[in-house]
Amino acid sequence: MKQRAKRKFRLISSVLAVLLLLSGCGPDFKEDNSQDTVTPKDDSLIVVGVSQIGSESVWRTANTASIQSTFSKENGYFLIFDNARQKQENQIKALRSFISQQVDYIVFSPIVEDGWDTVLQEAKDAGIPVILMDRNVNVKDESLYTAWVGSDFTEEGRRAGRWLSGHLAEEGRGDEEVNIVVLQGTNGSTSVIGRTKGFDSVAAQHDRWNILEQADADFTTAKGKEEMNKMLQKYEDIDVVVSQNDDMTFGALEAIQEAGMTTGTEGEIIVISFDATKSALEKVEEGIINVDIECNPEQGAYIEKVIRTMENGERADKEYFVEEKVFTKKNVDSVIDDRSY
Ligand code: AHR
C-alpha cells in the first residue's frame, strides 16, 4: 500500500470510529469548524494542511488566494487552511494539528527561519512530507522538509542594488555621496535576510553609499509610516529609501509627503520597493516609486507540481524558484493591466 493510502486508511479508520461513537451514523465524513475534526468526505482527495503566516500584506493575501484556488476539490484536493495571525506559536500548533489529523502533505510558510526542528521532526516521524512555501527554515537536518518553493530573495536584493547603481550612473551621480535608509520586514524572516544580504553586497562595492539605518517595520503600512517618520526626523538628507515591501512603501510615501518632500523620477527621494503589487505598479507608472522588484506570490501551481511529482512516486527537487522581474516606468505598462493583486 502506498504511503499516502496507508495514512488515509488510518485517518479514515480513526475518524470513522469517532464519528460512529458520537453520532451512531453511517460512514459519511463531515466538516465542522473545529480544526481537529475537519475530514474529507471523498477519500480520493489529497489532504493538504496549509499554515499561512497571516495577512500582513497585499502580497500575502495574493499568496493565500493562489493556494486556495490551486488546492480545490475540483483539482482533487481537500485543503485545511490555517491563518497563524503573525505568530510562530500558532504555526507550530497548526502543524501539530495537521500531524494529528494525518494529512497527506503539510505546506507552510515559516514566519521566521529559526525554531522549527522539533515540530518538523514530529512531521517526519509521522511520515508526512513538508513543503516550505515562500520562506525557508534554518534546521540542523535538511531532510526535515521535502522541498522549498519561493523567491530568490538575495537576488531580489542584488537587483535593487544594481538598479540603484545604474540609475545613479545614468544621472551622472555615480561619484556622489548617497544616503540610504532601509525599511525592513519581519526580523528573522528569509525575505529580510535575503534582500538585506543582496542589497548590502552591492552597497559594499560603492564607497560613497552610506546606509544610515535599517529599521524593522514588519512588512506593514502602519509600521512603514511610523519608522519613516522617525528617520525623517533623525536624518536631514535622505537620498534613497529601500523599502522591503510595497505595504511599507505606502506608509513611507505618506510620511514623506506629510513632511513636504517629494519622491520618484522627478522628486527628491529615490524610492525602491519590493513585491510589485498592482497599486504599487500604478505608483511606478505615475513616477512616484522609481522601481519595484517583483516578488511572485503565485506559488500554488509550483507547490502542486511538487505534490504531483511525489504522487507519481518520483523524487521532487529540493528547491523551486518562482519567476520574477524588475519594473520601472519603462516597462510597467506590460504588466499592470493583467495584475490581479
Ligand atoms: O516573504 C515574502 C514577503 O512577505 C513579501 O515581500 C511581503 O509583502 C510579505 O509579507
- 212 pLDDT exceeds 70? yes
Look at residue 41 in the predicted model and tell me its pLDDT: 67
Compute the distance between CA of residue 35 and CA of residue 69 in angstroms, rounded to an integer: 20
pLDDT at 4: 57
Only one residue has cell 548590502, namely 200
Encode burial over 238-261: b for 16+ CB neighbours within 10 A, e otherwise: bbbbbbbbbbbbbbbbebbeeeee
Ligand 1 centre from 115 Cα, in Å? 20
43 pLDDT band, cuts 50/70/90, is confident
What is the number of the ligand 1 atom nearest to the C-alpha of 219?
10
pLDDT tens for 2-36 read 445 545 544 554 444 334 333 333 333 333 333 44
Is residue 250 lining ligand 1, measured as CB closer than 6 Å? no
Q: Fold for domain 2-149+297-323?
A: Rossmann fold (3.40.50)
254-296, pLDDT tens digit by residue?
999 999 999 999 999 999 999 999 999 999 999 999 999 999 9
Cβ of 102 below 6 Å from ligand 1? no
Instruction: Please tell me the distance between residue 278's alpha carbon and the centre of ligand 1 in angstroms.
Output: 15
> Which atom in ligand 1 lies closest to the alpha carbon of residue 190?
1
Contact 265, 284 (CB under 8 A): no
Q: How far apart are CA 204 and CA 213, in angstroms?
A: 15
Give, using CA atoms, the residue closest to atom 6 of ligand 1: 245
Q: Does domain 153-295 have CATH number 3.20.20.70?
A: no
Residues 6+ apart with CB under 8 A from 258: 229
Every domain range in the chain assigned CATH 3.40.50.2300: 2-149+297-323, 153-295
Q: Closest residue (by CA) to atom 2 of ligand 1?
A: 191
Q: Of all residues in the chain, what percent are helix, strand and coil, respectively (each to 5)?
A: 45, 20, 40
- Round the average pLDDT of the chain to a whole number and report it: 91
Question: What is the whole-number distance in angstroms between the Cα of residue 276 and the centre of ligand 1?
Answer: 11
Ligand 1 atom 3: the closest Cα is on which residue? 191
